[in-house]
Amino acid sequence: MSHDIDLCCPVTGNVLHADQPHQMKGGTYALGGTTELSLNVTYNYSKHLYRVLDEDNGIRSLSGKSGAETSLLLSRAIDQLGNDKSADYWEATEGNVKAALIQLKTTADIRPDGVWCVR
């Protein structure tokens, strides 16, 4: 199980795109990169996401907020996590969660006008 986290157009609800392809990887990724501002994050990370983002909603706390509104929140969450990144993406280490949040913050900074759609 996982969360699809998209940065969407606040008017149409469509997933926004970057100017250039990126190689951000989560539970799924596009070979050769993609311009879609989207990341799939495993549910395995939930215990950490509830702790550093919102104890009631975890990653879903981003939903409906803009990239600009969440950039500082994501930075603070990143700062609370360790660097114990595992080669196994699915392992719920703080470093793996941190890597996912860094990618989301990067996405928010690319399109601060976008609104998070978390499914």
pLDDT tens-digit readout, 69-111? 999 999 999 999 999 999 999 999 999 999 999 999 999 999 9
Rounded distance between C-alpha atoms, residue 60 and residue 31, angstroms: 27
Give the pLDDT score at 30: 67
Hey, how many other C-beta atoms are within 10 angstroms of the C-beta on 6? 20
- Report which of residues 41 and 32 the model is more confident about: 41
pLDDT digits (tens, 9 = 90+) for 47-73: 999 999 999 999 999 999 999 999 999
- Which tops the pLDDT comparison, 26 or 42? 42
pLDDT at 28: 67
